[in-house]
Structure 1
Amino acid sequence: MILAAAVIVVGAVCAVDLLLSLGIVRRLREHTAELEELARIKGVIQPRGLAAGTPVPDFAAVDTDGAPVRRDALPADALVGFFSPTCGPCKDLLPDFTALAARLPGGRTQTLAVVVGDPDAAGELVAALAPVATVVVERPRGAVSAAFEVANYPTLFSLDAAHRVDAVGHGMAALPGRLGAPGPDGSGPDGAGSDGAGQVVGGQRRAESAGVGR
């Protein structure tokens, strides 16, 4: 009787301890994610992906319409964005990204949007991106993600005519002004100010006069 009661008490204590430990681990993960996001906003974390001036390796993928997608088919000044269904900043950036993509000449072929993650969870992002971009849905380290060496989201690229990375970053401010995106100081292509809505500072940008990779 006493032994059984002791076993019950010990089991209950262990169960409570396990629940507390799981709660602490979950909170630590949330805290780490918050710190990483704060560091990215303040420019401490640099973009993870191909650096400016780097040629994009060839890749082969299929878009949501079933059409093949390859590097050599991307036009000059192509805009490429990587998003994840589980990424909060991706959803914050989406309105500015789709607005820019809609303004670019060339229609949907001018912009490649890659949704990385569980295809069953990608529907919302695909629905928002498909009207203005060619959309590829793939698992992490899929063909396009591997080619661009993307490891976190959102990550944006612009490419030059030779399929080299022209600019890379986590927000609209990293993109060159000729695409109509706001510059690092919030100015647009004509120098007009912008409120910078949806921007995530910390991207690296190649100045046009620097000739990096040329």
Structure 2
Amino acid sequence: MPYLVTLVTLLSVLCVLNLMLTVGVIRRLRKHSDALASRSADGRQAVITEGSVAPPYATVATDGSAVSRDLITEPVLVGFFSPGCDACHEAMPDFIAQAARFPRDQVLAVIVDQKGGLAGPQREQLEPVARVVVEDMDGPITTALRVQAFPVFALVGRGGRILAAGLRLSQVVTLARA
């Protein structure tokens, strides 16, 4: 009987140790997954990193309103899209649905139209739920947030602090709702 008790105790300790190691591995995988979510396919950082402060920028939205880092008083959901990007077209409905949950002045959609004149359809879709800025790859917002891939999303707080950023809208919106 003492052997049986010892064996059960030993197995219990091994099970608890296995559970602790599994939880540790899962945590590491989540951190790794989040780090990868902010990188483009070629490994470059897709957007400015979380916790960074964007340099000052100023431009005008398509509705004539001023857009500036210094005008941000509440967190702003920002989405970067490009007319020639298939992934952007796939992400657009989800972005529009999420943007509809925010006040319109707290959502900014930046369409990076490098060829000129192709932003019209995306602009029409986004304007009901977001302020829209159309610029090229050297535009003030794209440059300030160091955008390297599309679509990319960010949550920008007061003073231009990047609260969340990455290639997945879900991780940015989750933080916005917290």
TM-score for the superposition, normalised by structure 2: 0.71
Aligned pairs for 1:21-36 (under 5 A) are none
Q: Is residue 144 of structure 1 aligned with residue 159 of structure 2?
A: no
* Contact 2:44/2:148 (<8 A) preserved: no
d(CA) in 1 for partners of 2:159 and 2:58?
17
Deviations 1:32-87 (A, max 9, x none): xxxxxxx97x9864642210000011111111112221111123221011100000
Higher helix share: 2
Q: Does 1:111 find its partner at 2:107?
A: yes
1:135 to 126, 132, 136: 132
List alignment gaps of at least 5 residues for structure 1.
Answer: 1-38, 181-188, 190-214
Counterparts of 1:64 and 1:166, CA distance in 2 = 25
1:85 equivalent among 60, 83, 86: 83
Match of 1:125 among 115, 122, 125: 122
Counterpart of 2:21 in structure 1 is none
- Deviation (angstroms), 1:98: 0.8
Query: For residue 56 of structure 1, what is the aligned residue in structure 2?
Result: 54
Tell me: CA distance 1:91–1:161, structure 2 relative to 1, closer, same or farther (3 Å): same
Structure 2 equivalent of residue 26 of structure 1 = none
Q: 2:72 aligns with which of 55, 71, 74?
A: 74
CA contact (8 A) 2:164 2:175 kept: no
Q: Which runs of 4+ in 1 moved over 2 A?
A: 42-47, 160-163
Q: TM-score, normalised by structure 1?
A: 0.60
Tell me the number of residue pairs that the alignment of Structure 1 and Structure 2 aligns: 141
Partner of 2:6: none
SS of match in other structure, 2:158: coil
For residue 103 of structure 1, give the secondary structure of its aligned residue in structure 2.
coil
RMSD of equivalent CA atoms: 2.4
Identity fraction in percent = 35
Unaligned stretches of 5+ residues in structure 2: 1-35
User: For residue 148 of structure 2, what is the amino acid of its counterpart?
Assistant: A
